[in-house]
A and B are shown apart, each in its own frame.
Chain A
Amino acid sequence: MTIAAFGDLRLHRLKKIEIVVLAEDHALVEDLLKAAGVGGWTMIRDVAGMGHSGFHQGKTIFNDQSGLVMFVGVAEDGIIAGVARGLARLFERRPGVTFLSDVEVMRSDYFGPAAT
C-alpha cells in the first residue's frame, strides 16, 4: 500500500500486539510468542504504571522478576491472532493487559513468521 504523505515509500500493513505482564511471567509470554511463530519481538523491562489494583512499582535492583515487562510484536494478522488466543488463556489465571493495533512497516521481511 502507499499513503500520499509517504511518497513512493512502500508500506506493508501488519498487526501489532503489545503485552504488559508481571516480570515473573515473562517466560509464559515468550513461550507463546514462539509457539505462534512470531519471528521476533521487543521486550521492555522495568515498566511501571497504574492499574486497577494500584500503582505498580518498577523493577528493584536485585530482582529481575519484580515489576512489569512489556512485549511488542508485529506480524501477519493470523499469527497475532494466534498470540491473542493464547494470551486469553493466560489471562484467565494471570494478570496482564494487551493492545492490538494496525501498523504499517517498511520492511515486511523483518516480520516474517519464525519456524516452529
Chain B
Amino acid sequence: MMVQLTAADPVLTRTEVAGLVALAARTAAPLWPLESAIAVNPLAGFEGLPFEAAVRLAAQRFGARRSLPLGQWRKLLAAGKLDERSLRDAAIRKLGGLNAAFELIGPNISRLDLLMARLLHLPVQEPGAGPAPLPADAAFIAKWCAAFFDQGQASSPMPNRELGLYRAVLAAIGHDPDFRALTGESGRHLLLSVPRDPLEAIAEGLPALGIPAGQEGPKLEELVARLPGWAGHIRWRNEHADPEIAAASPAGMADLLALWLLLERGGAVSAPARPQSAGGGADLLARHFGLAEAVDDARLADIAAMDEDDLGALFQTAAEWTYRNTLAARLQTAATGRAPPESPDAQLVFCIDVRSEPFRRALEGQGRYETFGYAGFFGLPIALHRHGEARRTRLLPVLLAPQHDLREAPVPGREQEAEALAASMAQASQASALLDAAKQGTATAFATAEATGPLAGLLMAARTLAPGLARRIGSALSPGRDDVLAPDLGGHGTRAPFTLEEKVGFALALFRLTGLPQRTAGLVALVGHGGSAVNNPYAAALDCGACGGHAGGSNARILAAILNEPAVRTGLAARGIAIPRATWFIAAEHDTTTDEIKIFDRCSVPASHRDDLAALAASLARAGEANRQRRAALLGRSADDLLTGAAHWGEVRPEWGLAGNASFIVGPRWLTREIDLEGRAFLHSYDWQADADGTALATILTAPMVVAQWINCQYLFSTIDNDRYGSGDKATQNVVGGIGVLQGNGGDLRVGLPRQSLFTDDGTPFHVPQRLLTVVLAPFEQVERVVASNTILGRLFGKGWVTLVVIDPHSGKALRWRRDAEIAPDAPANHETEI
C-alpha cells in the first residue's frame, strides 16, 4: 500500500462514518468478561443472511473454517453420531435431486458414487500445524488494547485513559519502538497530523487509502474482524456493561478502527489470513473409479472441485437430519399416547438447560415427581448487590436490562452470624487487596513471595493431593453463606424492591408460561443451577446462562418467597390461579458438576411439610447419584472422581457443560417423559391449550429459545474452528484480569469455548456441530401466527439458523417450517411441509 502522508479531503461526513462504524461493529459479537461469561453466537452479526451464506462470509472475514475437518466427521460417522443414509440424502440434494444424482458417469458409476467416495473414502487434507501467529500489526493494536482495558492488574496504568482509546494510544505510541518499526518515518508524520477525533480520522483515512465509494463499509468490517476479541470487549462495555465500568476509560469501535486506519496509512497493515480448503482433484477421483477417460467430464469435475468445507457441510446436514428424524418419530408416537396424569408427591421446576433433563429423568424414576422446565432466572429481571461485593450481579438473560435491584440481608434470627460472616469477608477482601498490591510492588514482590509462599504452597498441595479434603475444609471454614444471608424482599425496614402487583405478575408468569396447573402439589421446588470448578477461567460458563452466567439459586429463592406470600396468593386467585393453601414453595440449586442439590431456607418450611421435604431430599440425593454415574461414563471416569474434579485446581474438564446440545422442545413433560433425550435437549414446559393468543409461545420462542440458539451456535462454531471461533487449548491460556483469556502472552482476546469443553483428550469431537432443532407441540396455525409477527423468529427459522418442527396435538403429525429459500418468490408464503 502506497503511504499517504498528505491529508485527503473526507468524502463522508462525521455522522455517515458513525453509521458505517455502527454497522461494522456488528461483525464482532459482544464478548462478556469471564466473571459473567455467557454464550454468544460468534456470527450474531451475520444472522440477517441465510446460514450457509453467513458461514461463508464470516469464514472470509475471520479467516476461519466453514466446517469441522472431514477426518473428524468420518470419526463421528464411525461412532454412530450420524447415519450414512442421511449422508446419502444430503448428497443427493446437493447434486440436484435423484435424477441428477444417479446420472451415470461410467459403467454403473453414478455421480452420487463419486460424491460418496469423496465423503467417505478419498484421502483428506492433513490438519494444519495450528493457528498462524498474529501478524505484527494486529499484535501491536492488541498490545495497546490490553494496556488500555487493563482492570487494575498493571502496576503502572496507561496514562490518559480518560481521553478514550484512540487519543490515549496516539499520545503513547510516539515512544513505542514497535510503532516506529511498523510505520517508519511516515508514522511519525501521521502522528502529528491525523485528526484527534476518531470519526474524523476515519473520514480522512478512508479516502487517503483510496477506498472507493460504497466499499467503506466492507473495509471497516474487515478491520473489525481482525481482532474480534477486543472488538467484542468494546461492544460488551458499550452495550451491556453498567456505565461506571467504562466511564473512566471510554472506547468505541471508532477508536479501534481509527487505530487500524492509522497503521494502514503508515503502510503497516498485512493482508488478512485466508484458510484454504482443498478440492479433491479430478485425477484422483477419476483414478479411484478407473475412469481416466472421464477426467474432463464437467459432471465429475464439479464434484472434484468441492472443497473439504463443502463436504463437511453435507456431514453437518446429515447429522441434523439423523437427529431430527429420530427425535420427531419418537415425539410423534408420544404425542398420541398420553398417559393419564398422576397426583404427584411434589412438583419441581428446573431450568431449561440441557443438563436438567437427565437429572429430571433420574428424579422421576425415584417416585411420583412431576417436573417442569422454565427459564432459569424464573422470570425475574433483577440485579443482586451481594454482601461484600463492589458491583451488582445481573441475574437475568442479557436480552433484558435489570428492572429491580435487590440487596442481601441477614436471614431473620441469624443476624449475629451474618455480622460475623460480613466481618470475615471484609477481612479476606482487605487481605487479598493487600496481597495484590504487595505482589506488584517492585520493592515488595520477593518479600511477599517469601512470606506467603509456604501457606500458598500448602493450599496448592491440598488442592492437588487431597482436593476432596480441601473442599470439605473450605465448606467448614465458610459456614453456609446462604444460611445466614438471603436476597432482601423488604419488610425488615428496607425499601421493597417489588410492588405487590409486580410480584403477582412474576408468579403468574410461572403458571402461564409453563402450564404448571393451579392444583399444585404440597411441595413445589424451584430449582436453579450452577457449576463447581476451581482455578477455572470458564467457571461461569458452567453456571446458568439465563442468570447472566451466574448460579440461579438466588432467583429461585426470590420467586419461592414471593409465591409463599399470602397477598400474592390472593392476587393470583383474583387472576384465576387459586393455589391450594397446603402448597409450600421451596428453592433449591442443582450443582451440575457434582449433581448435588442444595435446598435453601429449610428452616422456614412449615412443620407440616418437613416429612415431605425429607423424602424429597432423599430422592434428590439418589437421583444425583444416578445422574453422576451416567455423566461419569461420558467423561470416562468414576462418579467419585467427579466430586474430586470439582475441587481440583488442575482440573481442565470438570463436566461436559452443554456439549451435545441439539434441540429445544416446547411442550408438556408427558411428551418427552418416556424418551431418553441424552442431555441434549432444552426442555421448556408449555400448554398450547392455555395459550390461545400465543403470548406464552411468543415469549418462549423469542427469549429462552434465542438464548438456546446462542448457546447452540457457540458450541457449533467453537467446534468447527476452535482456533478462530473458540479459545483453543486451556493449558496454554493466560487470563487477562477480569476481561478474558489470551493464548500465550499476548494477542487478541479469545472468544468462544476452550478445546477441552468440546473435544475428548484424543481430539475426537464430543460435541457434534449441528444447528438447533426446535420442536413445538401446538397446532401449526397457532405457531405460524407467532412466528409471522416476530421478526427474530422469521429470521431464525426462515434463514436456516434453527429448524422448526411443529407437532400437531390432535394427529401427532410432525410438520417442518419451510425456509424462505424453499418458497418461490411469487408463491404464497406457505411454510408448512413434511419433515
Interface residues of A (CB under 8 A from B): 22, 24, 27-28, 31-32, 34-36, 54-57, 60-66, 82-83, 85-90, 92-94, 116
Contact = CB atoms under 8 A, between A and B. Distances in A.
A44 to B, nearest CB: 16
Nearest to B13: A85
B559 interface: no
A32 B789 contact: no
A17 B224 CA distance: 30
Contacts of A83: 15
B702 A62 contact: yes
B239 interface: yes
A5 B267 CA distance: 64
A67 B698 CA distance: 11
Contact of B15 (A24, A35, A54, A94): A35
B379 interface: yes
Given A31-B21, A62-B703, A63-B703, A57 B698 contact: yes
B742 to A, nearest CB: 27
Interface in B1-44: 13-23
A86 B791 contact: no
A44 B433 CA distance: 44
A31 B22 contact: yes
Given A32-B19, A90-B19, 10 more contacts: A31-B22, A35-B17, A54-B789, A61-B699, A62-B399, A64-B401, A65-B792, A85-B13, A86-B13, A87-B19
Contacts of A32: 15, 18-19, 22
Contact of A31 (B252, B375, B400, B706): B252
A62 B704 contact: yes
B509 A61 contact: yes
Interface string B199-236: 10000000000000000010000000000000000000
A56 B19 contact: no
A61 B401 CA distance: 11
Contacts of A82: 13-15
Nearest to B26: A28
A62 B382 CA distance: 12
A34 B13 CA distance: 14
Interface string B773-807: 00000000000000011111000000000000000
B791 A56 contact: yes
B238 interface: yes
Interface in B359-415: 375, 379, 397, 399-401
Contacts of A89: 16, 19-20, 23, 217
Nearest to B375: A62
Contacts of B699: 60-63
- A35, A82, A93 — which one has the most chain B CB atoms within 10 A of its CB? A35
A80 to B, nearest CB: 10
A6 B398 CA distance: 48
A87 B197 CA distance: 20
19 contacts: A27-B238, A27-B239, A31-B21, A32-B15, A32-B22, A35-B15, A54-B789, A56-B791, A61-B379, A62-B375, A62-B704, A63-B399, A63-B400, A63-B699, A82-B15, A85-B16, A88-B19, A89-B16, A89-B19
Given A31-B252, A55-B789, A82-B14, A63 B19 contact: no
Contacts, number: 100
Given A54-B789, A57-B698, A85-B16, A64 B399 contact: yes
B792 A66 contact: yes
Given A27-B22, A86-B18, A89-B16, A60 B252 contact: no
Residue among A60, A65, A66, A93 having the largest count of chain B Cβ atoms under 10 Å: A60
Task: Output the residue of B16, B48, B197, B252 with the most chain A CB within 10 A.
Answer: B16
B199 A35 contact: yes
Contacts of A54: 788-789
Nearest to A79: B15
Contact of B19 (A22, A34, A86, A116): A86
A94 B45 CA distance: 12
Contacts of A22: 791
A93 B49 CA distance: 11
A83 B13 CA distance: 10
A93 B23 contact: yes
A67 to B, nearest CB: 8
Q: Which of A31, A54, A90, A116 has the most CB of B within 10 A?
A: A31
Contact of A60 (B22, B48, B401, B698): B698
B180 to A, nearest CB: 32
Of all A-B residue pairs in the complex, the 7 with the closest CB atoms, nearest first, are A62-B703, A89-B19, A35-B18, A86-B15, A86-B19, A57-B789, A82-B15
Contact of A63 (B15, B48, B702): B702
B68 to A, nearest CB: 30
Nearest to A55: B789
Contacts of B397: 62-63
A66 B19 contact: no
A66 B789 CA distance: 11
Contacts of A24: 792
Contact of B702 (A31, A34, A56, A66): A66
B163 to A, nearest CB: 14
A93 B375 CA distance: 33
Interface in B489-531: 509
Contacts of A34: 18
A31 B22 CA distance: 7
B790 A57 contact: yes
B476 to A, nearest CB: 40
Given A56-B791, A57-B789, A62 B19 contact: no
A5 B21 CA distance: 46
Contacts of B23: 28, 89-90, 93-94
A85 B12 CA distance: 9
A83 B23 CA distance: 15
Given A28-B23, A31-B22, A82-B14, A66 B790 contact: yes
Contacts of A35: 14-15, 17-18, 199
Contacts of B702: 60, 62-63, 66
A92 B216 CA distance: 13
A24 B48 CA distance: 12
A55 B21 CA distance: 30
B110 to A, nearest CB: 43
Nearest to B379: A62
Contacts of B788: 54-55
A114 to B, nearest CB: 13
Given A62-B400, A63-B400, A56 B22 contact: no
Contacts of B375: 62
Contacts of B48: 93
Nearest to A22: B791
Nearest to A36: B15
A42 to B, nearest CB: 17
Contacts of A88: 16, 19
Contacts of A65: 399, 792
A106 to B, nearest CB: 27
